[in-house]
Amino acid sequence: MMARAWWPMAMVLVVGCDEDLLNPMSAQQPRVQAYGESEFYPDGMAMRDPPAGTVPRERVVQQSGLTTGKFSSPTGDLYLTTFPLKVDRPLMELGRKRFDITCATCHGPVGDGDSIVARQMALRPPPSLHRYADRAPGYIFEVITRGFGLMASYAAELDVRERWAVVAYVRALQISQATPLDRLTPDEQARVRSVGEEPPIMNPPAAGQSVVPRQQEGL
């Protein structure tokens, strides 16, 4: 009796896992490949431009300072010298995450232009970001948004908030790398020195010698 009671539930689960059984048109409806031809439209093009005047739902509008890094003045557009959003720990953590993923590959983990990728760029290596510590935050934001020289735009990879987060983190790197050690508290100095210490050099194991720590050999 118990086995028979399970059959209806099992059938429901099987049908529920295969959407094509409920809606076969989802897999059989006509479709075209990207950049392919279409007989439906008069111009024969399958890919369509969005209607005039439409914008992405996520796009920030009517906040030029936030989206361009500039503001209007009687003498023309000027770069923002302050951040248009709150700089707090969550923003800094976001900036560090996105910098490490997107920017550090070329500019190095601390922004000094020293990285494995940068060493292979013979034409024009990425510059040290510390050379631009005197530039306004809006300028750095614009470079990330529009690109500069051989650097492409990263507006597609980073949204507006992420770009400002990277700018804030770059500013933090510029300050940290230019701050003398004696200006830090004793605890902060100890932390910096501990990070800078090189790990002890380990002699390579002899032939046949185990490389597993002694306390783990019995595991």
Tens of pLDDT along 53-75?
A: 887 776 666 678 899 999 988 88
Q: Which among 91, 60, 63 is positioned nearest to 155, based on CA atoms? A: 60
- The count of C-alpha atoms lying within 13 angstroms of the C-alpha of 182, restricted to the half-sphere facing its C-beta, is 0
Domains along the sequence of the chain with CATH: 86-179 (1.10.760.10)
Choose between 181 and 107: higher pLDDT. 107
Confidence of residue 4 (pLDDT cuts 50, 70, 90): low
Tens of pLDDT along 90-111?
A: 999 999 999 999 999 999 999 9
Helical pair 89-98 and 160-178, crossing angle rounded to 10 deg: 90
Q: What are phi and psi of 141, to 5 degrees?
A: -60, -40
DSSP 217: T
Q: Decide if pLDDT at 208 tops 80.
A: no
pLDDT at 145: 95
Tens of pLDDT along 113-144?
A: 989 888 888 888 889 999 999 999 999 999 99
Show Cβ contacts of residue 80 under 8 Å, excluding neighbours closer than 6 positions. Answer: 65, 69, 70, 71, 136, 137, 138, 141
Q: Check if the beta carbon of residue 149 is closer than 8 Å to that of residue 124.
A: yes
Cα–Cα distance between 155 and 138 in angstroms, integer?
Answer: 14
Neighbours of 109 (CB within 10 A): 14
Q: Report CA dihedral (188, 136, 98, 157) to the nearest 10 degrees.
A: 180
12: Cα separation from own chain's centroid? 42
Structure tokens at 45: 């093009």
Q: Decide if pLDDT at 36 tops 90.
A: no
